[in-house]
Amino acid sequence: MDARLEAIRDTVLARNPGEAEFHQAVTEVFESLGPVHDRHPEFLEGAVLERLCEPERQIIFRVPWADDSGRFQINRGFRVEFNSALGPFKGGLRFHPSVNLGIVKFLGFEQIFKNALTGMPIGGGKGGSDFDPRGRSDAEIMRFCQAFMTELYRHIGEYTDVPAGDIGVGGREIGYLFGQYKRITNRYESGVLTGKGISWGGSLVRPEATGFGTVIFAEEMLKTRGLSFDGQRVVVSGSGNVAINAIAKAQALGATVVACSDSSGYIVDEAGIDVDLLRQIKEVERGRLKEYQARRSAVDYVDGGSVWDVDATVALPCATQNEIDGDAAARLVRNGLLAVGEGANMPSTPDAVAVFQDARILFGPGKAANAGGVATSALEMQQNASRDSWSFAHTEERLTEIMVGIHDRCAATADEYGDPGNYVLGANIGGFVKVADAMLAQGLI
Ligand code: NDP
Average pLDDT over residues 41-67: 98
User: Measured in angstroms, how far is the CA atom of residue 237 from the centroid of ligand 1?
Assistant: 9
Backbone angles phi and psi of 197, in degrees to 5: -65, 150
Relative to the CA of 370, which ligand 1 atom is closest?
Answer: 43
Mutate to test the pocket of ligand 1, among 118, 242, 342 (most ligand atoms within 8 A of CB): 242
pLDDT value at residue 74: 98
Average pLDDT over residues 380-396: 97
Relative to the CA of 169, which ligand 1 atom is closest?
Answer: 2
User: Measured in angstroms, how far is the CA atom of residue 124 from the centroid of ligand 1?
Assistant: 19
What is d(CA 292, CA 229) in angstroms, rounded to the nearest whole number? 25
User: Measured in angstroms, how far is the CA atom of residue 7 from the centroid of ligand 1?
Assistant: 34
Catalytic residue among 90, 105, 114, 126: 126
User: Measured in angstroms, how far is the CA atom of residue 263 from the centroid of ligand 1?
Assistant: 10
**CATH 3.40.50.720 intervals, the chain:** 207-369
pLDDT value at residue 249: 98
Query: Hey, whose CA ends up nearest to atom 27 of ligand 1?
Result: 167
pLDDT value at residue 282: 97
Relative to the CA of 242, which ligand 1 atom is closest?
Answer: 25
pLDDT confidence band for 149 (50 / 70 / 90): very high
What is d(CA 164, CA 155) in angstroms, rounded to the nearest whole number? 14
Average pLDDT over residues 6-17: 98
What is d(CA 372, CA 425) in angstroms, rounded to the nearest whole number? 19
Tell me what percent of the residues of the chain surpass a pLDDT of 90.
Answer: 100
Half-sphere exposure at residue 290, Cβ-oriented, CA atoms within 13 angstroms: 7
pLDDT confidence band for 352 (50 / 70 / 90): very high
CA distances from 189 to 198, 316, 388 (A): 15, 35, 14
Query: Hey, whose CA ends up nearest to atom 38 of ligand 1?
Result: 166
List all residues 6 or more positions away from 308 whose beta carbon is below 8 Å from its beta carbon: 235, 237, 315, 323, 324, 328, 331, 332
Nearest to 74 by CA among 64, 83, 84, 66: 64
pLDDT value at residue 357: 97
Q: Provide the CATH topology of domain 207-369.
A: Rossmann fold (3.40.50)
Mutate to test the pocket of ligand 1, among 90, 129, 262, 302 (most ligand atoms within 8 A of CB): 262
Average pLDDT over residues 122-144: 98
pLDDT value at residue 439: 98
Nearest to 408 by CA among 154, 249, 224, 275: 224
pLDDT confidence band for 129 (50 / 70 / 90): very high
User: Measured in angstroms, how far is the CA atom of residue 11 from the centroid of ligand 1?
Assistant: 31
What is d(CA 365, CA 353) in angstroms, rounded to the nearest whole number? 9
Sign of the Cα torsion 410, 414, 416, 417 reads positive
What is d(CA 431, CA 366) in angstroms, rounded to the nearest whole number? 13
What is d(CA 398, CA 162) in angstroms, rounded to the nearest whole number? 21
Contact 32, 433 (CB under 8 A): no
Judge whether 90 counts as a catalytic residue.
Answer: no
Relative to the CA of 168, which ligand 1 atom is closest?
Answer: 2
Query: Hey, whose CA ends up nearest to atom 10 of ligand 1?
Result: 262
Mutate to test the pocket of ligand 1, among 111, 126, 166 (most ligand atoms within 8 A of CB): 166
Relative to the CA of 373, which ligand 1 atom is closest?
Answer: 40
Backbone angles phi and psi of 88, in degrees to 5: -60, 150
What's the CATH number of domain 59-188, 3.40.50.2300, 3.40.50.1000, 3.40.50.10860, 3.30.300.30?
3.40.50.10860
Relative to the CA of 321, which ligand 1 atom is closest?
Answer: 32
Average pLDDT over residues 393-411: 98
Query: Hey, whose CA ends up nearest to atom 42 of ligand 1?
Result: 373
**CATH 3.40.50.10860 intervals, the chain:** 59-188
pLDDT value at residue 308: 98
Q: Which residues line ligand 1 (CB under 6 A)?
A: 165-168, 170, 210, 238-243, 262-264, 318-320, 343-345, 370, 373
Burial class (CB in 10 A: 0-12, 13-18, 19+), 71: exposed
pLDDT value at residue 55: 98
pLDDT confidence band for 173 (50 / 70 / 90): very high
Q: Where are the alpha helices (DSSP H) in 94-156?
A: 101-118, 138-152
Average pLDDT over residues 83-102: 98
User: Measured in angstroms, how far is the CA atom of residue 290 from the centroid of ligand 1?
Assistant: 17
Tell me what percent of the residues of the chain surpass a pLDDT of 70.
Answer: 100
User: Measured in angstroms, how far is the CA atom of residue 395 from the centroid of ligand 1?
Assistant: 24
What is d(CA 82, CA 79) in angstroms, rounded to the nearest whole number? 9
Backbone angles phi and psi of 241, in degrees to 5: -55, -50
